[in-house]
Amino acid sequence: MVQVDLATLSVTEANRTMRQLAEQGHDLEVINPDARHHIGVGLVAPVKVHIRGSAGYFCAGLADGARFEVDGNAGWGLADNIYHGSVVVNGNASAIAAVAIRGAEVVVKGNLGSRAGQVMKSGTLCCGGNASFMAGYMMYGGRLIILGDSGEKVGDDLTGGEIYVGGKIQSLGSDVQQTDIGRDESDSVMEFLERYQLPFSGELKKIVNAGKKLRYKNEEARTRPIPFFTFSGTADYWNHKVQEDIFIKSQIGRYRIRGYGASRPLPHFTDLAFKHDLSAAGTDADVLDKIDLETKIGDKSGATPLSLSMPVMIAPMSFGALSKSTKVALAIASRLSRTSENTGEGGLTDDQRREADQIIMQCLGGRLGWNIHDMRRANALEIYISQGAKPGFGGQLMAKKVTKELAEIRGIPAGIDLRSPSRHPDILGADDLIIKIEEFREATDYKLPISLKLGAGRVRDDIKIALKSGADFVELDGSQGSTGASSSEVLEYVGIPTLAAIQEALDGLAEIDGSGQIPIVIMGGIKDGADVAKALALGANATAVGTAAIIAGGCISCMQCHVGTCVVGIATQDPEHEKRYNVPAEALHIHHFLENVRWQLASIVDGLGYTDFRQLGRDDLVALTPEAAEITRLPYAPEYSRKPKPFAQFKTLLTERF
C-alpha cells in the first residue's frame, strides 16, 4: 500500500500520482483528505483505495474497477457514474450518492442525502441509515437498499430497477408501487448485507415502477405529413396544418409531439444583409486559397483545442433520434470536411469514433451513454444545459426508437417512451457547475476542452454564468434549432430566436467586461454560408449546422422524426427503414454541402475585401426588417432587400448610398 498525502499534494497532483501507482498495481492510502473534492476521480485500475478521513464532492467519480473505502463522510455525487468496483463510506453521504452509476456496489453505512441513486442504471446502492427525500429519483435500473427510513417521494418517476426499504416509507414518489419481494431477491439482498457486514433483521419492502407514465396513453393519429413549406409563413389562420393540429388534439387529449424546431417565421439571419456590393463575390475560382477559414476552439484553459478547417461544426444530434447509419454518415462528412462531429445525448459508438476525426461528447442530465471510457476517447466534452428547440425541457425518445442496442448504450430498459430529466442532478447553481467541470477535467487530465450547450432562453444571464464557470467555449442554440421529438407548442413558442440569442450573449458579456473572453458557437436554423458569414460578422466565433446537414443527407423535412418510421432511414431505429439509407452516398452529400458552405463563406469574406473570416464585423451588416434591427441594433435599411434584378440598378443603389 502506497501513501498519498493531501496535506502536501493538490488533488490534481494526487489523482495523477494515484493513476500512475494504480497502473503499476499498487493499493493506495490517501491521508489528510480533509473532505477535498474529486478524490479518485477517473481511476480505472482494480486497486484498493483507502481514504483516511472524509471525502468531498464526486469521490470515486467516473471510476471503474477500483475498490474505495472512506473512513469519514462523503460529499455530493459520491461514486458518480462509476462502472465497476465498489465504494464503502463509513460515515454519511451527502446529496445524490451513486448518481448515474452504471454498475459497482456503493455502500454508505450512515445516512444518505437527498436524491440518492438519481438516474442510476445498474449496480447497487445500499445505506445502513436513513435516506433523505427522493431516493431513486428517475432511476433506470439497478437496486437501492435503504435499511432505515426512506424519506419523502421515494422512487419518484423511476423507470426501472428496485428499491428495498427496511424502515418506514415516508411517502412513495410518482409512478411507483409497493410490491411483494421474492425469496431469491430477498436472499440476494441478505447476501449483499452480509458481505458488507450490515446488520439487519427486519422485513424489507419493495418498490418498483407502476407503469403508468412509461408510455403515452393515446397514440397520435398518423396523418399524411403536410410538409414544412405548405404551412409555414402564411397568415392564414385556419390552414390545413392548423386544422389537422386541432383535430389530433381532440383525439388524444394531450400535447402533440413532433420533430424539427420552430416552424413559424421568426427573425433570422435572412433578415440581415451585407452592406457592401457582393456582386463580384463568387467569381474567383481560387477563393479558398486566399481566405483563412481555419480556426481552433477550446484552448482557453490549456486543453488541446478542436482544430476546424472552417468555423462550421456539425451540431449535436443523438444516435437515438437519428439512426446509426446517419450518425456514421455525419461522422464521415465531418472528417472529409475537417470539422467536428457531436454525439448528442446518445453516447459514442465505435463506428462514430472510427469515422470522425474530431468528436464532441455530450453529457446530459440523464447521463445516458455517458461514461469515463468514451469521455477519454472524445476530443471535447460538452455539458448540455438545454437546447434551442426546447430550452428548459428534458429529452424525449419514443418507444419505437428505444431498441435493445440503443437501450444498452444508454443503460436503460428497452421499449419505453424515454423521458430524460430536464436538469442535471449535480448542477443546481453556478457554483455546482464549476465543481462539475472540474470533475470532468480531473477525469480527462485537463486535456479536453469543455463546452456548455445553452438553449436560448435567458441568454443574457446564462452567458455570464458560462463565462464564470470556466468552460472553454459555449454552444448557443436558438429556437430554430431542431430536435427529434418535443411538444409542438414548446417548439414553436418557448425560447428566443437564434438572432436574438447571439446578440443577447454578446451584450451579456459586454455588461461584465467579458467581451471576447469565451468563444461562442451559434446554431439553430443556419442553412448556408451566408448565414454563417452573418453570424460571424455579428460576433459569433463559429457556427454549427444540424438540420441543414441532415437535409443534405436525405431528410425530406416531414417533421415526423419522433414516430420512428422515417421513410428515408434517418430518424429511425427500424432496420427495415434504416437500410434505405446509403451511408457512403449520403456522407458525400453532407460533405458536398459543407464544402458549399465553405465556398460561400470564403466568397463573402473575399467579396468584402478581407482575407480572414475574423475580419468580418457588425459594420458589414444592415437589418432588413424592423424586428431584426430592434434585436441586433443594426441600422434598419429595407432598401437592401430589393430584388437584385435588374442587377445594374441594385449596383447603382449601392453606389448612391456609399
Partner 1 sequence: MLYGCQHRGRDSTGFALYHEATADQLMLRFLVGDGSEAKGAIDHIKEILQEYNATIVEEETIGNNYRVRVIFTGDIQAFSYALDHAAKVISVGSSLEIIKDIGDAHQVDERYHVQSSLGTHGIGHVRLATESDVKPEAAHPFWATGFADIAIVHNGQITNYWKMRRALESKDFEFRTENDSELIAVFLAERLSQGTPLEAALAQSIEELDGTFSFLVSTKDELGFAKDHLAAKPMVKYESDELVAIASEEVSLNRLFPGQTISITEPLPGTYFTWSK
**Residue 646 engages partner 1 in binding (rule: CB under 8 A):** no
**Residue 609 engages partner 1 in binding (rule: CB under 8 A):** no
**Residue 607 engages partner 1 in binding (rule: CB under 8 A):** no
CB of 53 to partner 1, least distance (A): 5
Residues 364-383 that bind partner 1 (CB under 8 A): none
**Residue 199 engages partner 1 in binding (rule: CB under 8 A):** no
Q: How many residues bind partner 1 (CB under 8 A)?
A: 40
CB of 36 to partner 1, least distance (A): 6
Beta carbons within 8 Å of 556's beta carbon, 6+ residues apart: 227, 567, 568
Which grid cell sits at 318? 443523438
**Residue 143 engages partner 1 in binding (rule: CB under 8 A):** no
**Residue 435 engages partner 1 in binding (rule: CB under 8 A):** yes
Output the CA torsion 241→246→249→254 (10° steps): 100
Query: In the complex with partner 1, which residue's Cβ is closer, 63 or 465?
Result: 465
Write down the residue that cell numbers 436558438 correspond to.
478
Q: Which of 15, 73, 339, 632 binds partner 1 (CB under 8 A)?
A: 73
Query: In the complex with partner 1, which residue's Cβ is closer, 79 or 555?
Result: 79
CA distances from 311 to 62, 76, 269, 523 (A): 32, 38, 16, 11
Backbone angles phi, psi at 191, to 5 degrees: -65, -40
CB of 15 to partner 1, least distance (A): 15
Beta partners for residue 176, in sequence order: 209
CA 539/CA 516 separation, integer angstroms:
9
For 159, the enclosing helix (H) or strand (E) is none
Query: In the complex with partner 1, which residue's Cβ is closer, 5 or 492?
Result: 5
CA distances from 301 to 154, 339, 509 (A): 41, 21, 18
**Residue 57 engages partner 1 in binding (rule: CB under 8 A):** yes
Write down the residue that cell numbers 403536410 correspond to.
226
Piece in contact with partner 1 (CB under 8 A), picked from 71-79, 250-258, 279-287, 556-564 = 71-79
Q: Which of 511, 612, 619, 630 binds partner 1 (CB under 8 A)?
A: 511
The DSSP 8-state label assigned to residue 339 in this structure reads -
Beta carbons within 8 Å of 630's beta carbon, 6+ residues apart: none
**Residue 289 engages partner 1 in binding (rule: CB under 8 A):** no
**Residue 431 engages partner 1 in binding (rule: CB under 8 A):** yes
Which grid cell sits at 267? 427573425
Beta carbons within 8 Å of 249's beta carbon, 6+ residues apart: 255, 256
CA 73/CA 77 separation, integer angstroms:
12
**Residue 132 engages partner 1 in binding (rule: CB under 8 A):** yes
Q: Give the DSSP letter string of 515-555.
A: TTSS-EEEESS--SHHHHHHHHHHT-SEEEESHHHHHHTT-
**Residue 133 engages partner 1 in binding (rule: CB under 8 A):** yes
Backbone angles phi, psi at 471, to 5 degrees: -65, 155
47 within 8 A of 66, measured Cβ to Cβ: yes
**Residue 109 engages partner 1 in binding (rule: CB under 8 A):** no
Piece in contact with partner 1 (CB under 8 A), picked from 29-37, 61-69, 119-127, 338-346 = 29-37
Helix, strand, coil percentages for the chain (3-state, nearest 5) = 30, 20, 50
Query: In the complex with partner 1, which residue's Cβ is closer, 329 or 437?
Result: 437
Q: Which of 64, 80, 345, 438 binds partner 1 (CB under 8 A)?
A: 438
Q: Which of 41, 44, 61, 76 binds partner 1 (CB under 8 A)?
A: 76
Which grid cell sits at 469? 464557470
Query: In the complex with partner 1, which residue's Cβ is closer, 75 or 305?
Result: 75
Q: Which of 50, 468, 592, 614 binds partner 1 (CB under 8 A)?
A: 468
Piece in contact with partner 1 (CB under 8 A), picked from 67-75, 213-221, 349-357, 493-501 = 67-75
Instruction: Give the 3-state secondary structure of residue 487.
Output: strand
Query: In the complex with partner 1, which residue's Cβ is closer, 35 or 248?
Result: 35
> Would you tell me how many other CB atoms lie within 10 Å of the CB of residue 195?
11
Rg of the chain taking only CA atoms, in angstroms: 26
**Residue 510 engages partner 1 in binding (rule: CB under 8 A):** no
Nearest by Cα to 271 from 585, 603, 654, 535: 535
Query: In the complex with partner 1, which residue's Cβ is closer, 288 or 434?
Result: 434
Site string for partner 1, 378-417 (x = CB under 8 A): ----------------------------------------
**Residue 56 engages partner 1 in binding (rule: CB under 8 A):** yes
Beta partners for residue 602, in sequence order: none
Q: Which of 29, 71, 277, 574 binds partner 1 (CB under 8 A)?
A: 71
Beta partners for residue 146, in sequence order: 127, 165
Query: In the complex with partner 1, which residue's Cβ is closer, 45 or 112?
Result: 112
CB of 139 to partner 1, least distance (A): 19
CB of 513 to partner 1, least distance (A): 7
**Residue 461 engages partner 1 in binding (rule: CB under 8 A):** yes
Beta carbons within 8 Å of 299's beta carbon, 6+ residues apart: 305, 449, 472
- Residues at the contact surface with partner 1, assessed by CB under 8 A: 7, 31-32, 34-37, 52-54, 56-57, 71-73, 75-76, 91-92, 94-95, 111, 113-114, 132-133, 428-431, 434-435, 438, 461, 464-465, 468, 511-513
